[in-house]
Amino acid sequence: MKVLVLGSGGREHALVWKLRKSLRISKLYCAPGNGGIAEDAECLAVDLKNLDSIVALGEQVRPDLTVVGPELPLTLGVVDEFTQRGWPVFGPSKAAAQLEWSKSFAKEFLQRHRIPTAAYAICDSVEEVREALTHFHAPVVVKADGLAAGKGVVIAASKEEAASVAAEMFSGKMVGGAGSRVVLEECLKGDELSFLVLSDGERVAPLVGAQDHKRVGDGDTGPNTGGMGAYSTVDIVDDKMRDWLVHHIAKPVVEGMKAEGAEYKGVLYCGLMMTARGPMVLEFNCRFGDPETQPILMRLESDLVDALEASVAGRVSEGDFKWSTDASVCVVMASGGYPGTFEVGKKIAGLDEAGAVEGVKVFHAGTTKRDGAFYTAGGRVLGVSARAVELQTAVGRAYEACEKIRFDGVHYRKDIAGRAMKK
Ligand code: AMP
Ligand code: GLY
């Protein structure tokens, strides 16, 4: 069969790497892909911001399955367009993806279905924010309602700061139209967990849990990023917790969406805070996480294409995934200045030596290839990933590989999975 993956980041490289192992796939495409992905799939040009461009690509390739990586094409309705034409596609419809593209919709949905989440207020003006703040204690979390590529959430230390951040969001200067509505939230404390499930609109099959590291600096300091690294182990979610999360969060979401007429198919990413009051939903993503997908797929033993097809065809079952009990980790190597402004086009050295470290796979997130050499082409450049029986070993191998890679301005966190290893 012919499979097309849409996207160009580390997540898509991991999807392509895993799909390529399937004996069922005769031709694998990725659009637009990147320098590293081009080693594993045929890369095709596309503008993922433009639905017509994606449909034209579908017309040209006629894939037996399309796997949508990032949220933007889902938000534009690529699944609706492909489904209408009878082209099998993995992911939620535009209406179902609203769980990600509108935080106010997600919060009200959670409340309607009595799924645990932080107390909140939805505000359409600075006056409404000031009034709502009287009901909150500092710190307060201020969120832009729409998609903001990880830049739409600020944890304000004081109510004054919360009001000024909200004003900045409303002005359009901070995150454009995504900030025309603002959600205030109670600030929760605890460990974060990325809990992903596969859904066919009715049934769900959980993936192994993972933890992202969103802040740019060691010890969770500095601004938020798209994710600087992630790890996955057996211990991150035990069987009892996994069942609880399936029955109290994932299933109620999928059943609630179906009851509301927006069947949720694809991967549902539940961003959770494990608080003293129990797990609470921080956010939903309507797609695989990046970089969580890299360590998650490194632990997947069964065929990914079978599982994705089960979602499209409406036959998901708990046994769709077979997982290794090994631990895995991904360390993101970023361009100097990221998540602020950064330069691209820096030559990357040491990739072969890094890839030769036992148990290591270097996923490309933002690279291009020219005359046999790789150059940086994005903020997050590489996802250096490793798998081993023990988390400690996997982390050691990932960092050993990172030390072999060099490019101007490179930076990465030195403490990915550090807290898990101290426990
Ligand atoms: P979100 O995009 O909603 O996941 O927010 C991005 C990050 O902000 C999360 O991964 C958390 O680290 C943090 N965050 C979001 N909501 C809250 C909350 N209610 N309490 C504490 N931290 C939060
Ligand atoms: N790693 C967080 C995300 O994919 O949104």
Question: Minimum-distance ligand to the CA of 273?
Answer: 1
Stretch 242-256: mean pLDDT: 98
Ligand 2 neighbourhood includes 80 CB (under 6 angstroms): no
pLDDT at 151: 79
Q: Is the pLDDT of residue 76 over 90?
A: yes
Per residue in 115-129, pLDDT tens? 999 999 999 999 999
- Our answer on whether the CB atom of 227 is closer than 6 Å to any ligand 2 atom is yes
Q: Does the CB atom of residue 94 touch ligand 1 within 6 A?
A: no
User: Which ligand 1 atom is nearest residue 283's CA?
Assistant: 3
User: What distance in angstroms lies between residue 193's CA and the mean position of ligand 1's atoms?
Assistant: 11
Indicate if the pLDDT at residue 291 is higher than 80.
yes
Give the mutation target among 273, 284, 292, 413 for probing the ligand 2 site: most ligand atoms within 8 A of CB: 292
Statement: residue 337 has pLDDT above 90: yes
Q: What is the pLDDT of residues 83-137, one digit of tens each?
A: 999 999 999 999 999 999 999 999 999 999 999 999 999 999 999 999 999 999 9
Ligand nearest to the CA of 188: 1
Alpha carbon distances (Å) from 364 to 9, 15, 16, 188: 7, 12, 11, 33
Q: What is the pLDDT of residue 319?
A: 79
CA of 263 to the centre of ligand 1 (A): 26
d(CA 180, CA 23): 48
- Indicate which residue's Cα is closest to atom 14 of ligand 1: 282
Report pLDDT for 178: 86
* Structure token pair of residue 100: 């990600």
CA distance 322 to 211: 20
Residue 176: what pLDDT? 85
For residue 385, the model assigns a pLDDT of: 98
Residue 332 has pLDDT above 80, yes or no: yes
Which residue lies with its CA nearest to atom 3 of ligand 2? 289
DSSP characters over 319-365: GG--B-S-EEEEEEEE-TTTTS-----PEEB-HHHHHTSTTEEEEES
Report residue 323's pLDDT band, with 50, 70 and 90 as the boundaries.
very high
* Model pLDDT, residue 342: 97
Q: Which strand (E) or helix (H) includes residue 404?
A: helix 391-404
Tell me how far the alpha carbon of residue 288 lies from the centroid of ligand 2, in angstroms.
8
Whether 385 and 290 have beta carbons less than 8 Å apart is answered as no
Region 254-277: mean pLDDT is: 97
The DSSP output letter for 247 is I
* pLDDT tens digits, one per residue of 393-414: 999 999 999 999 999 999 999 9
In whole angstroms, give the CA distance from residue 236 to residue 210.
7
| pLDDT tens readout for residues 211-245 | 999 999 999 999 889 999 999 999 999 999 999 99
Q: Measured at the alpha carbon of residue 362, what is the angle toward residues 359 and 368, in degrees to the nearest 5?
A: 165
Rounded percentage of the chain residues whose pLDDT exceeds 70: 100
pLDDT of amino acid 35: 98
Q: Residue 170 — very low, low, confident or very high, per pLDDT cuts 50/70/90?
A: very high
In this structure, the residue with its CA closest to atom 4 of ligand 2 is 289
For ligand 2, is residue 290 a contact (CB within 6 Å)? Answer: yes
- Ligand 2 contacts CB of residue 285 (under 6 A): yes
**Beta carbons within 8 Å of 127's beta carbon, 6+ residues apart:** none
Ligand 1 centre to CA of 282 (Å) is 6
Q: Is the CB of 283 within 6 Å of ligand 1?
A: yes
Cβ(187) to ligand 1 under 6 A? yes
Atom of ligand 2 minimally distant from the CA of 288: 4
Query: Which letter does DSSP use for residue 248 in this model?
Result: I
**Ligand 1 atom closest to the CA of 143, numbered from 1:** 3
Q: Quick one: average pLDDT of 382-396?
A: 98
Closest CA to 223 of 307, 287, 148: 148
What pLDDT was estimated at residue 223? Answer: 87
- pLDDT band (50, 70, 90) for residue 201: very high
Give pLDDT, residue 150: 72
pLDDT reported for residue 261: 97
Tokens of 256: 């609630």
What domains lie within the chain, and their CATH numbers? 2-90 (3.40.50.20), 125-180 (3.30.1490.20), 191-320 (3.30.470.20), 327-422 (3.90.600.10)
Does 212 sit in the ligand 2 pocket, CB within 6 Å? yes
Q: Mean pLDDT, the chain, as a whole number?
A: 96
Rounded to whole angstroms, how far apart are CA atoms 9 and 341?
A: 18
Which of 107, 141, 282, 287 gets mutated to test ligand 1 (max ligand atoms within 8 A of its CB)? 282
**Among all ligands shown, which has an atom nearest to the Cα of 106?**
1
pLDDT digits 0-9 by tens, 151-169? 789 999 999 999 999 999 9
- Could you tell me the CA-to-CA distances from 229 to 175, 225, 337, 383, 390 in Å, in that order? 24, 10, 17, 8, 17
∠ CA 391-392-396, nearest 5°, is 115
Looking at residue 101, what is its pLDDT?
95
With CA atoms as reference, report the closest residue to 82 among 418, 107, 74.
Answer: 74
Give the mean model confidence (pLDDT) for residues 296-325.
95
The predicted pLDDT at position 149 comes to 77
**CA–centroid distance, residue 348 to ligand 1 (Å):** 33
SS3 assignment, position 245: helix
Of 101, 94, 86, 42, the closest CA to residue 68 belongs to: 94
pLDDT in the model for residue 159: 96
